Amino acid sequence: MFAALVAFACGATGCFHPPRNMPNDSTIGYDGQNAIPPDCDSLARGSHMTDAGRRRPAMQWGCATYTNLAAQLARPADIVAPQTLGPADGATAASAIRRYETGHVIPLDSSTSREAK
């Protein structure tokens, strides 16, 4: 009974559907070499709520999230043409876990890796 009530409440309030006209990852641009963060003014959405009779200010939904994501992309070309995942190799993954659990971890190759400082 409780689950049905929760499902009805979510359906009635719209929690199964994202709000309309909200930004998504397509707001991050790409100039052929770099990821370009969104123009935050273009993400501003006016509030439909009032506070003591005055409209609340607009909010720039997703601006910080998508700006940070654009800064963190290791391969910005993935924005327009993402790479597909290769096939999973269960034996290699199991071997790595077994080495970790038994304390036989293979050290990083110092010629291609950096140690944390």
pLDDT tens digits, 42-101: 877 777 767 777 777 777 778 888 889 888 888 888 888 888 888 889 999 999 999 999
Q: How many domains does the chain have?
A: 1
Domain membership flag for residue 117: no
Euclidean distance between CA atoms 29 and 10, whole angstroms: 34
Domain membership flag for residue 16: yes
Determine the structural domain holding residue 11 and report its residue range. Answer: 2-102
Domain membership flag for residue 113: no
| pLDDT of amino acid 72 | 87
Domain membership flag for residue 8: yes
| pLDDT of amino acid 102 | 94
pTM of the complete model beyond 0.85: no
**26-42: average pLDDT:** 85
Domain membership flag for residue 14: yes
Amino acid at position 85, single letter: L
Domain membership flag for residue 111: no
Residue that the structure tokens 């309309």 belong to: 20
Domain membership flag for residue 80: yes
Whole-number Cα distances in Å, 10 to 5, 6, 79: 9, 6, 32
Higher-pLDDT residue of 19, 40: 40
| pLDDT of amino acid 101 | 94
Domain membership flag for residue 114: no
Higher-pLDDT residue of 11, 21: 21
